Structure 1
Amino acid sequence: MGKWYNVGKIVNTHGIKGEVRVISKTDFAEERYELGNKLYIFTGEDNQPIEVVVKSHRLHKNFDLLTFEGYHNVNEVEKYKGSLLKVPEDQLSELDEGEFYFHEIIGCHVYTDEAKELGTVKEILTPGANDVWVVKGHNNQEILIPYIDDIVLDINIHDKKIVIKPLEGLL
């Protein structure tokens, strides 16, 4: 099996009907948790992932709540607390132009439109309407860059290079 990509972490159970509470680490949660989709639970104890099929998905506070087919009861999912949910690389869907996976953006070098290097994308935050890229600059300084068209001019995944037009006050 090729690479695996982290979709989220099961942090707890929810109620008694087999629902699990997930903190999502995925760029496309809605798509990942569509009914009938396959996800794989990595418990960390062995390397054999457990295949599950999404039966229901709803949002609750900052969590995604999922149930899986064949799991009807809190006792059956209790053992998965702390486990990671992943998908294999071949399940990553083709993206529209201008869409990128987090793992493609992280590690890219960020430059201004005047060719000044700012640093490397270390993390992506998803606080709301726009993703925010955390760029680790010189002297370990963190620069937060909102992923919006006015700022991000060019993304070249192959060269791991991103060009931005810094708005006033950004740097």
Structure 2
Amino acid sequence: MTRLSPSAAKKNAAKDRVTIGKVGAAHGIHGEMRIIPLTDFTERFADMKEVMVGDELLHIESCKYHKQFILLKFREYPVREDAMRLTGRLLTVDRSEAVPLEEGEFYTFDIIGLTVYDETGNTLGTVENVLRTGSNDVYQARRPDGRELLIPALKAVVKVIDVAGGRMVVDLPEETDDAH
């Protein structure tokens, strides 16, 4: 098993790594672990040979799909008792291994941290979370004065998302802008 040094692990925890799952409970007696997928691209697990689990690079021996879980068996953890120590850890891949998105689509981790501006350049806040509501996502931002700002992820509202520039430009309805 390969471990990253604490400083390397901290560096990789930033935007260099993409979280794709979380280790759940053990499954069966042969060391398989239930993986809770934290990605829209669950098919990616079938072709993976290795993955970072916490700060360890682990080699995947087998992958099965079971209900809403992915069952992974890691070469470094051949028995259930050892594998159970992985419970709760996050599975990550290098950002270069992220599934390419279509034009105008963004990963949640790219949206979080963007500074939100209105169309005249006034700072409205910083995106802290992306809420999935079913009909459309909602960007949850924190205003400079600490109040919450909810921004519907609609083309009519969100005019620009510039991940490289760290900014989002919005045209909020007046009642939303003055709320709270």
TM range (shorter): 0.7 to 0.9
Question: Which structure 2 residues correspond to residues 1-171 of structure 1 after superposition, within 5 A?
Answer: 3-13=16-26, 18-22=32-36, 24=38, 26=39, 28-30=40-42, 32-33=44-45, 35-38=46-49, 40-43=51-54, 47-52=55-60, 55-57=63-65, 60=68, 65-68=69-72, 75=81, 77-171=83-177
SS, match of residue 79 in structure 1: helix
Is 1:36–1:54's contact at 8 Å kept on the other side of the alignment? no
Is 2:28–2:80's contact at 8 Å kept on the other side of the alignment? yes
More divergent stretch after superposition (106-115 vs 134-143)? 106-115
The number of equivalent residue pairs is: 161
Q: 1:135 to 1:66 in 2, by over 3 A?
A: same
SS, match of residue 51 in structure 1: strand
User: Which amino acid counterpart does residue 79 of structure 1 have in structure 2?
Assistant: R
CA RMSD of superposed structures (Å): 3.1
Measured after TM superposition, the shift of residue 101 of structure 1 is 2.0
State the alpha-carbon separation in 2 of the partners of residues 39 and 134 from structure 1. 34
Measured after TM superposition, the shift of residue 161 of structure 1 is 1.5
State the alpha-carbon separation in 1 of the partners of residues 29 and 176 from structure 2. 47
TM-score by length of 2: 0.70
State the alpha-carbon separation in 1 of the partners of residues 66 and 98 from structure 2. 22
SS, match of residue 138 in structure 1: coil
User: Which amino acid counterpart does residue 149 of structure 1 have in structure 2?
Assistant: K
Measured after TM superposition, the shift of residue 124 of structure 1 is 2.0
Measured after TM superposition, the shift of residue 74 of structure 1 is 5.1
Bigger Rg over Cα: 2
Q: 1:59 to 1:169 in 2, by over 3 A?
A: farther
TM-score by length of 1: 0.73
State the alpha-carbon separation in 1 of the partners of residues 102 and 61 from structure 2. 25
Is 2:51–2:91's contact at 8 Å kept on the other side of the alignment? yes
- Please give the per-residue CA displacement for 1:4-42, whole angstroms capped at 9, x wherever unaligned: 222232233356673514262x4x343544x22345242
Structure number having the greater helix percentage:
2
- Consecutive unaligned residues of structure 2, counting only runs of 5 or more, are 1-7
SS, match of residue 90 in structure 1: helix
- Please give the per-residue CA displacement for 1:91-127, whole angstroms capped at 9, x wherever unaligned: 1233221111223222211112343321011222334
